[in-house]
Amino acid sequence: MPTRAENFAALVARDPANPLFRFSLAQALVAEGQGAAAVPHYEVCVASRADWMMPRILLGKLLLELGHREEARPLLENALELARQQQHEDPERELVALLASW
């Protein structure tokens, strides 16, 4: 039986430009312990929409986990700006705390 990541990988193979398939694949890869493999999929999501906050948060946090601190910071700062613009208070609080620990 295929894993969730394998299921989403098949969808991405059929429609590689679909950012929602990429987002779901990235989340499944992270859940299955394959964080490094999720990075390019989150990057596609970030590039697809300037106002999409969640892939920026998840990619930034993943990059931190992978030891890419300097790559993570601009993503997290941009996500914080979006959280404020879109009035998402919980992500804003989380990002403020995360960036304060720099």
Q: What is the pTM of this model?
A: 0.95
Tell me how crowded residue 50 is: count the other CB atoms within 10 A of its CB. Answer: 9
**Structure token pair of residue 46:** 């970030």
Q: Which structure tokens are listed for 101? A: 């620990």
Q: What is the pLDDT along the chain (102 residues), one digit of tens a residue?
A: 999 999 999 999 999 999 999 999 999 999 999 999 999 999 999 999 999 999 999 999 999 999 999 999 999 999 999 999 999 999 999 999 999 988
